[in-house]
């Protein structure tokens, strides 16, 4: 079971959707590593239905490489799949299944690499880090990183295998997710002006979000290496009201900021706090209990590698290219860099254009390119 394709078939069969946990998948990987005699440790969540895993082959001590991937996937609910999403299938060189691209394809290759490296004489350690709940805000990797930092882990660098079509990504934007809770005053809709509509209050705040976005798009900081070269502000969910004939008392608005490195999310959030308070002050003139409060729900740092970074040089060499990119989506890379004070690079098989969709797939050629890259990286860790 050291073959990446066999491993991928088993991994896809575990429906490790974030909301349901990944513990069965992690137990399977643990059994594979244990059978090979590879030291590893689980980092279970308080609920026990999910866990992260960290394994090491080669000598103990600093240096070496961490291969990092998340094991949770997004739901398939409401998607029009033409095949079983939790059964690996192949057609015309494409491997189909939930998570083939994001990102069990890389995870399978990484496990294979560690199993193969077990029989080699390494001069530096090779680590495997598998996390849970990445899809809902890079949640599961944080407790594991805190423990690894406390234990003094200091690899040379980390390779995050998110799907980049095997292009080497030197950076991505940071993200801050927040919730605006809008409080109005209920009334019968026939007497609507006697109440304060919380949905209307949320709409006023939404206007401020859109105004900030327009400002950033027109004159904000720019990084032309991104497809969207400026910081984005996005409202994703609005929830409010219970019946059409009731003026709603409460409304929730979830929004996010994805920032380029030159923009400070704390400063942008302060501006939005001020906008919310100004709207609240106007509402309180008639309704003292009215207002908008903002709570940060989740955030993770961006990632950036310098042009002369040794990790970037190694990744480019192993990938057989001299050009790097930046990706729009977030990864756990910034958290690794922040917690362990080591560089992180993103490179993995498949395209995010296929992720999170019905009939998700990864090209077999992408898996082969990943296997070849990891083989070259492991060769670089081998003793003379």
End-to-end CA distance of the chain: 28
176-194: average pLDDT: 97
**What average pLDDT score do residues 46-60 get?**
96
Distances, alpha carbon 225 to alpha carbons 174, 259, 265, 321, 348, in Å: 15, 13, 20, 17, 19
Q: Would residue 231 be called left, alpha or beta, if left means φ above 0 and alpha means ψ between -120 and 50 degrees?
A: beta
CATH class of 4-172+302-381: alpha beta
Residue 249: exposure state from Cβ atoms within 10 A (0-12, 13-18, ≥19): buried
pLDDT of 1 above 70 = no
pLDDT band at 134 (very low <50, low <70, confident <90, very high): very high
Residues 6+ apart with CB under 8 A from 327: 162, 164, 169, 171, 172, 346, 352
What pLDDT does residue 37 have?
96
Structure tokens belonging to residue 339: 């917690």
pLDDT of amino acid 200: 98
Mean pLDDT (whole number) for 38-61? 96
> Is 384's pLDDT higher than 60?
no
**Is CATH 3.40.50.300 what the domain over 174-300 is classified as, yes or no?**
no
Which residue in the list 9, 72, 223, 360 is annotated as catalytic?
Answer: 72
Average pLDDT, the chain: 96
Annotation marks residue 72 as catalytic: yes
Over residues 208-229, mean pLDDT: 95
Pair 190, 99: CB distance under 8 Å: no
pLDDT digits (tens, 9 = 90+) for 298-310: 999 999 987 678 9
DSSP conformation letters of 285-348:
TT-TT-EEEEEEEEEE--EE--TT-HHHHHHHHHHT-S-EEEESS--SHHHHHHHH---EEE--
pLDDT given at position 260: 94
Q: What is the pLDDT of residue 382?
A: 86
pLDDT in tens, 316-369: 999 999 999 999 899 999 999 999 999 999 999 999 999 999 999 999 999 999
- Collapsing DSSP to helix, strand or coil, 63 comes out as coil
Provide, rounded to the nearest whole percent, the portion of the chain with pLDDT above 70. 99
Mean pLDDT on 56-67: 94
- Domain spans, the chain: 4-172+302-381, 174-300
Of 9, 112, 134, 332, catalytic: 134
Q: What is the per-residue pLDDT for 305?
A: 85
Does this model's pTM top 0.85? My answer is: yes
Mean pLDDT of 145-169: 97
User: If we measure between CA atoms, which residue out of 42, 64, 60 comes closest to residue 51?
Assistant: 42
């Amino acid at each position: 079971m050291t073959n990446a394709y066999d491993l991928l078939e088993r991994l896809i069969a575990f429906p490790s959707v974030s909301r349901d946990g990944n513990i069965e998948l992690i137990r399977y990987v643990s059994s594979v590593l244990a059978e090979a005699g590879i030291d590893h440790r689980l980092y279970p969540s308080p609920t026990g239905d999910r866990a992260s895993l960290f394994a090491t082959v080669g000598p103990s001590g600093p240096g070496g490489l961490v291969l990092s991937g998340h094991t949770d996937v997004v739901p398939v609910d409401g998607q029009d799949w033409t095949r079983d999403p939790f059964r690996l299938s192949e057609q015309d060189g494409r491997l189909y299944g939930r998570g083939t691209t994001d990102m069990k394809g890389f995870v399978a290759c990484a496990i294979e690499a560690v199993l193969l490296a077990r029989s080699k004489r390494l001069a530096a350690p090779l680590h495997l880090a598998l996390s849970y709940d990445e899809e809902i805000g890079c949640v599961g990797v944080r407790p594991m990183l805190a423990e690894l930092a406390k234990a003094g882990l200091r690899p040379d660098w980390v390779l995050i295998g998110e799907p980049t079509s095997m292009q080497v990504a030197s950076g991505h934007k940071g993200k801050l997710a927040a919730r605006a809770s809008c409080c109005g005053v209920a009334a019968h809709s026939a007497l609507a002006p006697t109440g304060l509509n919380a949905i209307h209050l949320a709409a006023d705040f939404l206007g401020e979000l859109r105004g900030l976005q327009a400002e950033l798009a027109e004159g904000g900081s720019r990084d032309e290496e991104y497809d969207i070269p400026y910081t984005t502000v996005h409202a994703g969910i609005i929830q409010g009201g219970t019946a059409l004939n009731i003026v709603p008392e409460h409304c929730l608005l979830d929004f996010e900021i994805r920032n380029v490195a030159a923009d400070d999310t704390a400063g942008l959030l302060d501006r939005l706090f001020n906008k919310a308070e100004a709207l609240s002050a106007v509402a309180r003139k008639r309704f003292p209990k009215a207002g908008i409060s903002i709570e940060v729900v989740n955030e993770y740092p961006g990632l950036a590698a310098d042009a002369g970074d040794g990790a970037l040089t190694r990744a480019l060499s192993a990938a057989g290219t001299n050009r790097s990119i930046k990706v729009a989506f977030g990864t756990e890379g910034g958290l690794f860099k922040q917690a362990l004070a080591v560089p992180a690079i993103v490179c993995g098989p498949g395209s995010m254009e296929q992720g999170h969709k019905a009939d998700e797939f990864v090209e077999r050629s992408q898996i082969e390119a990943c296997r070849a890259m990891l083989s070259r990286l492991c060769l670089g860790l081998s003793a003379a």
